[in-house]
């Protein structure tokens, strides 16, 4: 550091990464500063500056020697575990300044010699007592993996077999194709049968143990509950998402156009992803891109970008933070709030050039077999290549990473748009319910025009959130057999009341059906 740089910094005053001390009068206090720097992103301590008024009081030659020795002793005796401090001297008029550079620690959390953990809080520091914050420090430096932690009292019976089968069919696709377990055969096979086909002699529990979803102590891992849980929020209530489409541009607004109910978003990551994407499809405008009047429209914000941003929020969120993902649609922008700041010292500049350092490595490497992303670090680049006006905020104060996507002015919701009006969507929720008034006559199913029965109305309304064939069959109380699916689901698809989430592969094991937006 040069003299001109340090003088400029002194004029600017103390900040979170630069602290001033006139002299080292209290070893314990200095030790606390070093602890706080080590637990944060590192920092610089300048000795020879009055921290209250920012004026320079240079050290003599003897004071420089004493200060340098004292800093070394404090770093080894007052910081636990001990750290190394890089010390340099800078000559100024009348003497010298001692500048100590403290790197971000690799063995967090650090504490003082009284056992107290300190972190930076702006230009000051504060004590840490929250276990979640301590866990986040340990996660940040790789000494703790929350996605591999056990979920107390949960068993394999709390995991959804169909989702596990979907995961296994994607991960071991070649093996299962050779064994003939595809399409209906895979759907109708038991989990144990599928696992035995993958690894001879393995049932569901044994294979899940070998894949590290069940720990040696028998506990279900947090990653397994997130990926496969039947009722994930029963065990992990904060691992959910809040989705609201507001009237206007103010987070404090009292009116909304659409809101995903808590009960509808509850479920594993695949269910959450599909529910969030359905929310985007309902509330973002579709733009006509072809010359023909009936040409298919595309979302005003590219679908591929929304997929990448949503998957990143679900997979890379802090698992130690007890807060949900929040997704807001305003008239002029879309915001995606993911709990936890960027991990491993990443910056916004890093991620926009494709640098990938996953926070939850075990979850990250397995979610690729359920969620649509490559895991190669190219997702953010693909999203940004769509030419959107997007910004990223790494907010230390609120402990979250925020993606803000500006909506084009011509695509914003206006008073006379085809979106719901302010008056009809008050927060009292009177008109926020799913429209139950379906046509009494079904559109053409094949060549025959039939009336829509109450059971069919119930199926269509049930599929406001994407549902599997088995969920639909359970809803109407019959077995999930091929003939029952053809009789109860196919006519609704052909008539345009339901649509497949994966229309290119009708027999895909992860196929779901949702209410059509036509």
| 237-238-243-248 Cα dihedral, nearest 10 degrees | 130
**485: enclosing H helix or E strand:** helix 482-488
Tens of pLDDT, residue by residue over 227-236, are 999 999 999 9
Residue 41: the pLDDT is 84
- How confident is the model at residue 277, as a pLDDT? 92
pLDDT of residue 414: 44
Q: Is the pLDDT of residue 367 over 50?
A: yes
The domains of the chain, with CATH numbers, are: 3-129 (3.30.950.30), 155-218 (no CATH), 241-425 (3.30.565.60), 454-515 (1.10.10)
6 confidence band (pLDDT: 50, 70, 90): confident
Exposed/middle/buried for residue 477 (C-beta within 10 Å: 0-12, 13-18, 19+) = exposed
- The larger pLDDT score, comparing residue 184 to residue 27, is at 27
> Mean pLDDT for the chain?
85
In this prediction, residue 496 carries a pLDDT of 86
pLDDT digits (tens, 9 = 90+) for 184-227: 888 889 999 999 999 999 999 999 999 999 999 999 999 999 99
Is the Cα torsion angle 481, 444, 275, 477 positive or negative in sign?
A: negative
- pLDDT-derived band at 3, boundaries 50, 70, 90: low
Note the pLDDT of residue 2. 65
Structure tokens at 133: 């914050």
- CA-CA distance, 492 to 456, in Å (whole number)? 8
Assess whether pLDDT exceeds 90 at residue 445.
no
Question: What string of H, E and C letters represents the secondary structure of 298-361?
Answer: EECCCHHHHHHHHHHHHHHCCCCCCCCEEEEECCCEEEEEEECCCCCCCCHHHHCCCCCCCCCH
Q: Could you tell me how far CA 486 lies from the centroid of its own chain? A: 37
Whether the pTM exceeds 0.85: the reply is no
- What confidence tier does 514 reach under pLDDT thresholds 50, 70, 90? confident
Burial class of 217 by CB neighbour count within 10 A (0 to 12, 13 to 18, 19+): exposed
Query: CA 208 to CA 214: how far, in whole Å?
Result: 6
Cα(211)–Cα(247) distance, rounded to whole angstroms?
46
In the prediction, which pLDDT does 23 show? 94
Q: How confident is the model at residue 297 (pLDDT cuts 50, 70, 90)?
A: low
pLDDT exceeds cutoff 60 at 508: yes
């Amino acid at each position: 550091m040069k003299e001109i740089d340090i003088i400029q910094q002194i004029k600017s005053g103390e900040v979170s990464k630069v602290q001033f001390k006139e002299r080292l009068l209290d070893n314990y206090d200095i030790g606390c500063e070093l602890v706080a720097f080590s637990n944060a992103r590192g920092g610089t301590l300048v000795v020879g500056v009055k921290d209250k008024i920012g004026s320079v009081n240079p050290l003599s030659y003897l004071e420089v020697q004493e200060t340098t020795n004292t800093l070394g002793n404090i770093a080894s005796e007052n910081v636990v575990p001990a750290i190394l401090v890089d010390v340099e001297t800078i000559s100024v008029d009348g003497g010298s300044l001692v500048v100590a550079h403290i790197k971000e620690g690799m063995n967090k959390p650090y504490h003082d010699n009284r056992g107290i953990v300190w972190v930076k809080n702006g230009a000051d520091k504060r004590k840490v007592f929250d276990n979640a914050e301590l866990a986040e420090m340990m996660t940040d430096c790789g000494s703790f993996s929350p996605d591999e932690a056990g979920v107390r009292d949960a068993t394999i019976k709390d995991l959804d077999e169909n989702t596990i089968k979907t995961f296994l069919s994607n991960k071991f696709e070649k093996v299962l194709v050779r064994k003939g377990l595809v399409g209906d055969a895979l759907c109708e096979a038991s989990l144990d049968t599928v696992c035995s086909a993958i690894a001879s002699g393995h049932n569901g529990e044994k294979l899940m143990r070998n894949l590290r979803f069940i720990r040696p102590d028998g506990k279900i891992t947090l990653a397994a509950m997130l990926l496969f849980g039947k009722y994930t929020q029963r065990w992990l209530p904060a691992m959910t998402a809040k989705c609201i489409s507001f009237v206007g541009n103010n987070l404090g607004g009292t009116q909304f156009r659409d809101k995903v109910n808590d009960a509808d978003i509850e479920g594993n990551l695949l269910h959450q992803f599909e529910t969030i994407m359905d929310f985007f499809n309902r509330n973002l405008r579709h733009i006509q891109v072809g010359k023909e009047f009936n040409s298919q429209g595309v979302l005003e914000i590219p679908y591929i970008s929304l997929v990448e941003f949503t998957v990143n929020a679900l997979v890379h969120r802090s698992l130690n933070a007890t807060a949900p993902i929040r997704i807001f649609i305003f008239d002029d922008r879309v915001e995606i709030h993911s709990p936890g700041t960027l991990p491993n010292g990443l910056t916004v500049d890093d991620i926009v050039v494709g640098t990938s350092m996953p926070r939850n490595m075990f979850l990250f490497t397995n979610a690729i077999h359920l969620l649509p992303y490559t895991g190669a670090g190219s997702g953010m680049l693909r999203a940004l290549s769509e030419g959107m006006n997007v910004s990223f905020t790494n907010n230390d104060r609120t402990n979250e990473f925020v993606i803000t996507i500006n909506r084009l002015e011509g695509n914003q919701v206006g008073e006379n748009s085809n979106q719901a009006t302010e008056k009809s969507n008050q927060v009292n929720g009177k008109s926020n319910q799913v429209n139950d008034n379906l046509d009494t006559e079904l559109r053409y199913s094949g060549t025959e025009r039939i009336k829509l029965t109450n059971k069919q109305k119930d199926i269509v309304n049930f599929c406001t959130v994407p549902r599997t064939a088995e969920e639909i069959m359970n809803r109407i109380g019959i077995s999930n057999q091929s003939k029952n699916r053809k009789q109860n689901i196919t006519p609704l698809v052909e008539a345009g009341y339901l649509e497949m989430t994966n229309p290119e592969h009708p027999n895909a094991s992860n196929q779901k059906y949702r209410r059509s937006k036509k």
